[in-house]
Amino acid sequence: MLPLLCVAQTLHGQHLRVCPSCDYTSITTALDQAQPGDSLIIGPGTYKEGNIKITKPVALVGIDYPIIDAEQDNEAITVTSDSVYISGLQIQNVGTSYIEDRSAIRLIKSNYCRIENNKFFNTFFAIHYEHSSHGIVRNNYVKGNAVLEMSSGNAVHVWYCKHMLIEGNTLLGMRDGIYLEFVDSSRILNNHSEDNIRYGMHFMFSDDDYYSNNFFRSNGAGVAVMYSDRIAMADNIFEQNWGTAAYGLLLKEIHDSDIHNNIFRKNTTGVYGESANRINFFNNDFISNGWAMRIMGSCEDNVIERNNFLSNTFDITTSSSHNNNTYQGNYWSGYSGYDLDHDGFGDVPYRPVSLFSYVISRAPTSIVLLRSLFIEVLNFAEKVTPVITPESLSDDQPRMKKVTR
């Protein structure tokens, strides 16, 4: 009853019923007869109709997840109208193409459309928006079997759009869970993105967006934010993103953003930054990562404050002998200083860049020496009298207790 209630709230036309024993046995035939504002109520069954084209504001509502099967040949549904609502369908077997982005549902210049509570299996692209605004993609389940990037598509692909809401979706086994390019003023909330072969989520040339309470696990890399400005990232979990080039969060050419209240747990690298400037990192937890943060020399004017660095192999590494960022009031599990005045902050600064992490940034194969006694002695000597690592890269107020949110 919930899908029908949602339709009733937005569309007030006739209900056209589609099923093997109904007046309409074909979705396409029912669409031809539908008037703007009508609803197609699609009963259980399997519908093999080729590419279904929606050119008027209507609703497609499935009962017990009727199957639309594209038979590995073409797109399943193409929408070129505003105010379309699609819910309760199972769409499967969209054919792979190397020259076009075939999709289970493609929306072109379609504003105020809602794609909710659908299931997608074995689709090249699942939901593909382009040149649209004020769209909603909510509570969908996407399961792919991607093996190679070149022969797989994205679960939710959004291109040249504004004011989008992507919320509560489960996105598994695709190329990217969510891909956003030239997407502004949009929100990405409460999604679960796992086992995607490239990124759990991927931003390109997108500004003024907000993503929160998402879960990114076991992807090729968790999230990449590239060539974008003013992105707010809060209350997300990035974990188990392992591999030679895997990151919980990759930042490249990003500016004026906030990253707070996130958990980076058991990633090869928690955060990798390259030409990332004027970013505030605060109240994040970095737990059991290989590198908690790899901040390259091209990163400037960032503030890393009130974060917890817990049991990481390396807390901070950089490729520069100079530091142009601020580290202040963080908790470091590797800190062994003291607090004689009992103000909650260590009396001795903490230098989070070890000599060995600095060496590895230039000679990655030296990682084989990680646990050797010789390296421990070198690291200790460098902390006492910095010669190679950036002398100004230190936390002058290391916390004695973990930061609580």
Per the structure, the complete domain to which residue 316 belongs is given by 69-384
Q: What pLDDT is stored for residue 242 in this prediction? A: 83
Tokens coding 373 = 């006694």
> Is residue 62 in some structural domain?
no
Model confidence pLDDT, tens digit, residues 70-109: 999 889 999 999 999 999 999 999 988 877 889 999 999 9
> Is residue 5 in some structural domain?
no
Question: What is the distance between the alpha carbons of residues 167 and 352, in angstroms, rounded to a whole number?
Answer: 37
Collapsed DSSP state (helix, strand, coil) of residue 405: coil
Counted domains in the chain: 1
Q: What pLDDT is stored for residue 359 in this prediction? A: 58
Using the structure block, give the residue that is written with the tokens 């079997």. 145
> Is residue 230 in some structural domain?
yes
> Is residue 255 in some structural domain?
yes
> Is residue 286 in some structural domain?
yes
Q: What pLDDT is stored for residue 230 in this prediction? A: 97
Task: Give me the CATH number covering residue 368.
Answer: 2.160.20.10
> Is residue 399 in some structural domain?
no
> Is residue 103 in some structural domain?
yes
What's the predicted TM-score (pTM) here?
0.89
Question: What is the distance between the alpha carbons of residues 190 and 48, in angstroms, rounded to a whole number?
Answer: 33
**pLDDT beneath 50, residues of the chain:** 1-10, 366, 368-369, 374-375, 377, 381-382, 387-388
Return the number of other C-beta atoms located less than 10 Å from residue 114's C-beta: 20
Q: What pLDDT is stored for residue 55 in this prediction? A: 98
> Is residue 190 in some structural domain?
yes
Length of the chain as a residue count: 405
Using the structure block, give the residue that is written with the tokens 């080729």. 50
Model confidence pLDDT, tens digit, residues 26-42: 999 999 999 999 999 99
Q: What pLDDT is stored for residue 151 in this prediction? A: 80
Backbone angles phi, psi at 366, to 5 degrees: -70, -5
Q: What pLDDT is stored for residue 287 in this prediction? A: 98
Residues 6 or more apart from 9 whose CB is under 8 A from it? Answer: none
Q: What pLDDT is stored for residue 247 in this prediction? A: 94
Q: Is 168 buried (19+), middle (13-18) or exposed (0-12) by CB count in 10 A?
A: middle
Question: What is the distance between the alpha carbons of residues 369 and 367, in angstroms, rounded to a whole number?
Answer: 5
